[in-house]
Amino acid sequence: MTQLDQLKSYTTVVADTGNFLQLAQFAPRDATTNPSLILKAVLSPDYAPLLHETMAAHRGKALDEIVDQVLVRFGLEILKYVPGRVSTEVDARLSFDRTASIARARRLMALYEAAGIPRERVLIKLAATWEGIQAAAELEREGIHCNLTLLFSFAQAVACGEAKVQLISPFVGRIYDWYKKSAGAAWDEAANAGLNDPGVKSVTRIYAYYKQHGIATEVMGASFRNVGQIRALAGCDLLTISPDLLAQLQADESPLARVLDPAQVPTIAKLSLDEAAFRFLHNEDAMASDKLSEGIRLFAADAVKLDQMIQQA
């Protein structure tokens, strides 16, 4: 068996791409998108007709409505290739606006439902700010399931669990990036690989906390830089993986052992966070504060680029 096949026996494999034509060869259950992946896809000649077709069908509508139509159109195409769920992201520029995030999420879901897709097959992605988490809590009560993204701190994970969100996406690779950059010339790659990778350690801690305390929120490791990070999280509820890394796993037939197991987790004290405690605890984590802010800026910048493409077409 390939390592991809072995991984699927422990973990739900999710494809992290807007390039739906690549999906069939890896047979993932779910797929995730974000503004950067959608922008990358629409810049490809393979997908330009889909973009222009969607724009033509909705010409004259407000720009944000057309953007949502484009996002959902990609989601609908992806759902033809995966049996499970697709994650579609709310505009990152709304990351600190609870009310607007809820409205945008409802509109995205309404578009999917109008196309005949049941709610169970869609996850609405929101940045794991305090406002995003509270928006997700309300949406979950309405039966709109959410994927909380740009998650870097333990505080974010605790708050998401308390909000009873469906799924969180801790960003393994971006955590790794921050620590590597911070260490500079002192960084020892071998000493910080595998189970010692700072991104892997973060996800492992969150996984253990959720399992120990019976928190139903799914943990989906994301943003991988190498297959070693993926192997070190075998057994995590889900892992969302880029096509390049999926291909590496598919080409490797060496044994892949399960690492994370809900029956074998360390004891971690239960926390309860109100807004003030959340903000303070998150702020105490310099890496998480930096990467959440940076992630929102980057996704917002790509959202602006997509807006501009639509306006100029």
Give, for 215, the enclosing helix (H) or strand (E): none
Six-digit token pair at 193? Answer: 């690989």
Report whether pLDDT(313) > 80: no
d(CA 11, CA 68): 31
Give, for 159, the enclosing helix (H) or strand (E): helix 154-162
Report whether pLDDT(282) > 80: yes
Strand-strand pairing, 146-151 and 238-241: unpaired
Say what the pLDDT of residue 15 is: 96
pLDDT tens for each residue of 178-221: 999 999 999 999 999 999 999 999 999 999 999 999 999 999 99
Strand-strand pairing, 86-89 and 146-151: unpaired
pLDDT tens for each residue of 45-78: 888 888 889 989 999 999 999 999 999 999 999 9
Let me know if 291 is a catalytic residue. Answer: no
Say what the pLDDT of residue 284 is: 98
d(CA 55, CA 59): 6
Residues with Cβ within 8 Å of residue 21, at least 6 apart in sequence: 46
Q: Are 111 and 68 in contact (CB under 8 A)?
A: yes
Q: How many CB atoms lie within 10 A of CB 285?
A: 17
Say what the pLDDT of residue 126 is: 98
pLDDT tens for each residue of 94-150: 999 999 999 999 999 999 999 999 999 999 999 999 999 999 999 999 999 999 999
Read off the pLDDT of each residue in 248-274 and give the average, rounded to a whole number. Answer: 96
Give, for 178, the enclosing helix (H) or strand (E): helix 172-183
d(CA 279, CA 190): 34
Q: What is the C-alpha end-to-end distance of the chain, expressed in Å?
A: 47
AA letter at 106: R
Say what the pLDDT of residue 34 is: 87
Burial of 88 (0-12, 13-18, 19+ CB in 10 A): buried
What is residue 283's three-state secondary structure?
A: helix
Give, for 176, the enclosing helix (H) or strand (E): helix 172-183
Say what the pLDDT of residue 134 is: 98
Six-digit token pair at 286? Answer: 């310099």
DSSP one-letter string for 70-139: HHHHHHHHHHTT-SS-EEEEPPGGGTT-HHHHHHHHHHHHHHHHHTT--GGGEEEEEE-SHHHHHHHHHH
pLDDT tens for each residue of 143-166: 999 999 999 999 999 999 999 999
Say what the pLDDT of residue 43 is: 87
pLDDT bucket at 309, cuts 50 / 70 / 90: confident
Say what the pLDDT of residue 21 is: 87
Which of 33-42, 131-140, 273-282 shows the lowest mean pLDDT across its residues? 33-42
pLDDT tens for each residue of 294-303: 999 999 999 9
Cα radius of gyration rounded to whole Å, the chain: 19
Say what the pLDDT of residue 310 is: 87
| Active-site residue, selected from the candidate residues 8, 61, 80, 125 | 125
- Domains of the chain plus CATH, in order, are 3-312 (3.20.20.70)
Long-range contacts of 62-69 (CB under 8 A, 24+ apart): 63/307, 63/310, 63/311, 64/91, 64/104, 65/107, 66/310, 67/91, 67/303, 67/306, 67/307, 67/310, 68/104, 68/107, 68/108, 68/111, 69/111
Burial of 230 (0-12, 13-18, 19+ CB in 10 A): buried
